[in-house]
């Protein structure tokens, strides 16, 4: 629920309407919690606390259980994420070929640490154990795009491609 700045009344946002439709679809299913959480995250981009409370209430599942599932699985996020997710490979091949320097370079350019999101919500930076593109080391993925054989000199140009 959002609060109207004009009247101070609570109003339903389009996202809230979508969430209620999602909950209505899964209300009678056993084991609905994870699909509902995935759907809610698709709707909001992350899982705000009030959304978790609504899911708990509507599915009649204790909030502690909902929160426990969200914090157990790495696919769920409690903070807003960037429009573009940058995954920097720090696996063995990338490590040997300078993956950590690429990671440090991106941290400096973006001004965020591992798992951080830029203030404009343009990028989220994450390190991963292996992307599976060892022949391109050092490698990063931005959303579904793979960029390999990187040097810190080319990072700015790569980032410019993403709004």
Q: Alpha-carbon distance 124 to 160, whole Å? A: 15
- What would the mean pLDDT of 91-99 be, rounded to a whole number? 96
In angstroms, what CA-CA distances link 10 with 4, 97, 118? 6, 54, 30
Q: Which of 129, 124, 117 shows the shortest CA–CA distance to 89?
A: 129
Entry pTM: 0.75
Q: Alpha-carbon distance 161 to 154, whole Å? A: 12
134 annotated to a ligand binding site: yes
Q: What is the average pLDDT value for the chain, to the nearest integer?
A: 93
SS3 (DSSP) at 34:
helix
Q: Is the pLDDT of residue 92 over 60?
A: yes
The confidence score (pLDDT) of residue 122 equals 97
Q: Does the domain spanning 14-72 belong to CATH 1.10.10?
A: yes
89 annotated to a ligand binding site: yes
- What would the mean pLDDT of 128-153 be, rounded to a whole number? 96
SS3 (DSSP) at 123:
strand
The confidence score (pLDDT) of residue 4 equals 57
The confidence score (pLDDT) of residue 12 equals 82
4 annotated to a ligand binding site: no
- What would the mean pLDDT of 68-75 be, rounded to a whole number? 95
Q: Is the pLDDT of residue 19 over 80?
A: yes
Domain boundaries along the sequence of the chain: 14-72, 84-160
- In DSSP terms, 11 is beta-bridged to 2
- What would the mean pLDDT of 18-42 be, rounded to a whole number? 95
CATH classification number, 84-160, choose in 3.40.50.300, 3.40.50.10490, 1.25.40.10, 3.40.30.10: 3.40.30.10
Question: How many CB atoms are located within 10 Å of the residue 62 CB?
Answer: 9
- What would the mean pLDDT of 32-51 be, rounded to a whole number? 96
The confidence score (pLDDT) of residue 28 equals 87
SS3 (DSSP) at 97:
coil
Q: Is the pLDDT of residue 2 over 70?
A: no
Assess contact for 61 and 33: CB atoms under 8 A: yes
Element (H, E) at 147: strand 145-147
pLDDT band at 22 (very low <50, low <70, confident <90, very high): very high
Q: Is the pLDDT of residue 109 over 80?
A: yes
130 annotated to a ligand binding site: yes
The confidence score (pLDDT) of residue 98 equals 95
The torsion defined by the Cα of 99, 104, 108 and 109, in degrees rounded to 10, comes to 0
The confidence score (pLDDT) of residue 11 equals 67
Assess contact for 91 and 99: CB atoms under 8 A: yes
Assess contact for 54 and 110: CB atoms under 8 A: no
């Amino acid at each position: 629920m959002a609060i109207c700045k004009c009247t101070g009344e609570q109003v339903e946002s389009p996202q809230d309407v979508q969430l209620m439709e999602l909950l209505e679809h899964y209300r009678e299913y056993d084991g609905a919690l994870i699909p509902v959480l995935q759907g809610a995250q698709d709707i909001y981009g992350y899982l705000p606390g009030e959304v978790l409370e609504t899911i708990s209430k509507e599915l009649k599942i204790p909030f502690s259980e909902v929160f426990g599932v969200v914090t157990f699985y790495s696919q769920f996020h409690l903070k807003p994420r960037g429009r573009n997710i940058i995954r920097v490979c720090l696996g063995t091949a990338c490590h040997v070929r300078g993956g950590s320097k690429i990671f440090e370079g991106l941290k400096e350019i973006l001004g965020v640490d591992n798992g951080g999101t830029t203030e404009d919500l343009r990028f989220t930076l994450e390190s991963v154990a292996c992307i599976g593109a060892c022949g391109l080391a050092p490698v990063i993925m931005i959303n579904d795009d793979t960029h390999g054989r990187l040097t810190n000199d080319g990072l700015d140009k790569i980032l410019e491609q993403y709004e």
